[in-house]
Structure 1
Amino acid sequence: MINNSAIQFKYNALYKPNQLICGTGQTAIVTGWSVKQTIAKHLPSDNYAVIGNLYSPTRGISFLIRNLLANPYVRRLVILNATKEDKNAGGCQCLLDFFTHGFTEGKSDTGRDCWVIKSPITGYIDIEISATALEILRQNIEVKEAKTITEAVDLVNSYSTKETLEPWGEPLIFPEVEVTPTVLPGHRYGHRIEGKTIAETWVKIIHRIKTTGTIRPTGYDGKWQELIDLMAVVTDEPENFYFPEPNYLPIDRTFLEEYISQILDDSPYREGVKYTYGQRLRSWFGKDQIEQVINKLIGEIDAASAVMSLWDVQDHDKGGSPCLNHIWVRVVENELTLTATLRSNDMYMAWPANAMGLRALQKHIRDEIAKRSDYDLQMGPLITISQSAHIYSDCWQHTDLIIQKHYQKIINTEQQTYYDPVGNFLIEIQDDNIVVTRTTPGSGEIVACYLGKDPLRLSREICADSPAIQANHAVYLGIELQKAWLAIRDGLNYVQDR
């Protein structure tokens, strides 16, 4: 021990420095989902080395451990494991289990080599960090769990009265493996993606972002790949939700159950907790907006003003503003649809939970209208508009593996259905002309007819009249029109799809 409690240290934040509050002491504080400033305001800066959040056991623990290894004078760690969000995410408990039970070599759920924390909660550490370094950390840092902010503050203050401990060794630095994605040309603004289920739509979303998204700095630390104004339309999510088997989504049913309550249920104010979406919808503005929307539609089923807002004008000044900002509910042809606008959306980790939570809200509104009125509405599509739709750089490897395993299967299955909302096109030859008849997708009513000898001109006319035609359908039409032209030129018989 160093017999000088006045010694001050400088925390070397190699990773995510903009997301940390640094002090000059020897105790690191992990606040989980609680607002880190809530603890910092109760402590002098020389009582702690660093204060930071931990949101995810699969993404955040590696950064935390890398920083601790780079700062061997940090000999004490206080982990605040206090909120429902902490319990649901499991990051703090998984970190505690790392120090208590250790780790073993294994693979992530996407097949990446990593250290797997010995915990009932799935947690990973980058394989590039040596096992020896991890053991050094486990043996030389004293770890305490706190269940409340007050308990955490008391623990840190009590440590500050003890003698200064010597560093456990020299700093150990393990550079990250950088993944550079290949970006293809594409639209920057305005995208539309549709799928039957949330899981299917999610794979298509991350494929679109990873293929054509622009790489930008995040404003915090690191980079993200981003598309601006991405609309996702989910048409047929089942009421009990579809989870693939094996489940490749970043959430499971246990997590979802807790997450849905954060959207549907009100919650009292708690120090260190910013808000929940349910709190913003139920009580934040002094009105229960979910009840308002239900009553609005019962009284005026065709209303276009069934709106819920989560944005508070004071969010500009306070910071920590909600990502989900606006919800619009509409009844069209006896279907209740819900459209949600999110200003900033982590499409890899957060969007599946966002979408399922919003779908649960949509069902709640539909069910309450049925209970209180004679309206028996069907569940219409769920639409999300993500103004900044992004994937963080520490998830790029994960997304690549998901895309490799699942994207082509989903597209192949989808294309085998041969369904396009713009309709069907029947191609035949009459008097040495190509005749294309367009029909509705359901009843088969004729809505348009195209006639000519030039397949390029015909395909352009059809696409001009049908700007929303599916890409695979447009390619199919081009092939068939060319075959029809070749049949005319060479005096052959033409039959569509043969």
Structure 2
Amino acid sequence: MSPMSLKYFAQNVEIGNQASEVGLVTLWTKKELILKHITKEHFAFIGQLYSKSTGISAIVRNCLYNKKIRHIVVIGADLSGSGQALIGLFERGIGEDHQITTDRGGAIDAEIPLASIENVRKNVRVHDLRSMTDYSTLGAFLAKLNGTKQGPYGEPEIFPEHVPLPVSTYPSYGSGFLVEDDFISTAWLKVLRHVMRFGTEKPTSYHDRQKELLNLMVVIHKEDPDNPKIEPYVGFTKEDLFRYYPLVVSAASVSTIEYTYGMRLMNHKGIDQIEHIIRMLSHEPHSRRAVGVTWSVAEDSTSVMSPCLILVQAIVQNKKLFLTAYFRSNDMFEAWPKNSFALRKLQTMIADRLKTGVGSLTTISSSAHIYERHFEKAAEIIAKHKPEWKMFDERGKFIIYVKEKEIYVQHQNNNDEVIAEYRGKNASSLINQLVDAVVLADVSHALYLGAELEKAEIALRTGTVYHQDLPLELP
């Protein structure tokens, strides 16, 4: 075995000096950008880190496989929090459940013994250089680390590959799914359920596997991005979210990364598309051309770093500003929650400028996926946190009563005005009428009405008095 060989994700890293005891982790910043400022003599390996779980587990496995590594330098843009999770692992360790103590979204493979992970923490030092923007001094820093040789701290260790929980896919059309909720955190629970239950399991372009739904639409009605309703299970805090907002709602550039959504929307080749949207809707409130795009044909058609968010469209309706965002690709586990909060913030900013109310936010994800590395965590969250399924929807409410040997159903709007009436002698005929009228949008509401109509039919057959929402008093 070569003293500098890496066993995990070796195809994704650059191997340097076999005598070096230093590894570089560049997070979301391209390693090629860092390599412009240093030579291969400065490091043993250099690679990027996107994932809090699979990526960090691979680093731990490689450190145990090659115990000559004594320093891990963390540098670059930490867009997903993977760098913070890695640093947290070395500073605070992990719990008995293999979860990183400082990060609810980060976990180390259960196949690696806790004692071995602790051995890495004791013998490998992590250096946090995420704030460094001038890489001209990086070479000197690495040279200093390489100046003190410590040697290996033990023999190589190899552990069984991580085996994710078995998953199954339920039958569906495979495309065209709808999730609605007032708030983003609780909508995310429903999103996880949809993708894990109905997603097609398939390979990715990143030597990984995924579960993927096509064209998942999520509609958020009431979220306030300035006072966000963040549940603990989403894995980030209000402060984390506010630090993320500028990547979407500001044109400010971020050193070490090529672009942000905010840069593409507000300062791509000098064009501020959001300002254009505001001007257009100010002069023409009914316009359907208030659109901002992030995709640059010349730059993105052949780029592996092309934007996932492709388009936003703002429409004013009933004196409210509605925003629709289209994603070509969307990591629903790690990216969608923050994406949605930031888009909601962008929506409120536009609405404030237009002096309108704020309508719903809709995200449409062409490829809505969860990576295999998150299957277990997603399953755990789904098992522990049940979303509240409402028994009514915005299409109205229904009053059921029995009169003159028939069952009546009154359809009322949100102002309690009767807008339609249906009647029949049995539950099935009324269910068919309601389905044909396309007046039901929520599954739990439909199930509730089906149960109530069956009760009404039993009451009609037995001569029992029927009261909606109350149990029958059968003779």
**TM range, normalised to the smaller chain?**
0.7 to 0.9
- Which residue in the other structure is 2:379 paired with? 400
Distance 2:85 2:251 in 1: 28
- Which residue in the other structure is 1:20 paired with? 13
Q: Paired residue for 1:227, among 213, 222, 239?
A: 213
Q: CA deviation at 1:300?
A: 1.1
Q: CA deviation at 1:359?
A: 0.8
- Which residue in the other structure is 2:73 paired with? 79
Distance 1:102 1:378 in 2: 45
Q: Paired residue for 1:213, among 194, 199, 202?
A: 199
Q: Paired residue for 2:320, among 331, 335, 343?
A: 335
Q: CA deviation at 1:364?
A: 1.0
Contact 1:243-1:249 at 8 Å conserved across structures: no
Q: Paired residue for 1:253, among 219, 229, 238?
A: 238
- Taking the TM superposition and a 5 Å limit, the aligned residue runs for 1:411-450 are 411=389, 414-415=390-391, 419-447=392-420, 449-450=421-422
Q: CA deviation at 1:115?
A: 5.6
Inter-CA distance 433–33: structure 2 relative to 1 (3 Å threshold): same
SS, match of residue 60 in structure 1 = helix
Distance 2:174 2:136 in 1: 47
Q: Paired residue for 1:134, among 102, 107, 117?
A: 117
Opposite residue 228 of structure 2, the aligned amino acid is: Y
- Which residue in the other structure is 1:125 paired with? 108
Distance 1:303 1:494 in 2: 50
Distance 1:122 1:214 in 2: 23
Q: In terms of mean alpha carbon deviation, does 22-31 or 354-363 score higher?
A: 22-31
Q: CA deviation at 1:484?
A: 2.9
Inter-CA distance 69–184: structure 2 relative to 1 (3 Å threshold): same
Q: CA deviation at 1:329?
A: 0.6
Q: Paired residue for 1:65, among 52, 55, 60?
A: 60
Task: Tell me, yes or no, if structure 1 residue 281 matches structure 2 residue 265.
Answer: yes
Unaligned runs of at least 5 residues, structure 1? 1-6, 108-112, 371-376
Q: Paired residue for 1:172, among 155, 158, 176?
A: 158
Structure 1 stretches of 4+ with a deviation exceeding 6 A read: 119-122, 157-164
Unaligned runs of at least 5 residues, structure 2? 471-475
Please give the TM-score of this superposition, normalised by the length of structure 1. Answer: 0.83
Q: Paired residue for 1:182, among 161, 168, 171?
A: 168
Distance 2:292 2:157 in 1: 51
Q: Paired residue for 1:202, among 172, 188, 193?
A: 188
Distance 1:295 1:29 in 2: 46
Inter-CA distance 183–122: structure 2 relative to 1 (3 Å threshold): closer
- Which residue in the other structure is 1:92 paired with? 83
Q: CA deviation at 1:161?
A: 9.2
- Which residue in the other structure is 1:106 paired with? 95
- Which residue in the other structure is 2:347 paired with? 362
Partner deviation per Cα, 1:302-322 (whole Å, 9 max, x = no partner): 111111101111212232011
Task: Tell me, yes or no, if structure 1 residue 459 matches structure 2 residue 431.
Answer: yes
Contact 2:396-2:412 at 8 Å conserved across structures: yes
Q: CA deviation at 1:178?
A: 1.8
Q: In terms of mean alpha carbon deviation, does 192-201 or 473-482 score higher?
A: 473-482
Q: CA deviation at 1:439?
A: 2.7
Opposite residue 494 of structure 1, the aligned amino acid is: Y
Inter-CA distance 59–171: structure 2 relative to 1 (3 Å threshold): closer
Distance 1:333 1:166 in 2: 69
Q: Paired residue for 1:478, among 444, 450, 469?
A: 450
Instruction: Name the Cα RMSD after superposition.
Output: 3.1
Opposite residue 397 of structure 1, the aligned amino acid is: E
Distance 2:33 2:260 in 1: 17
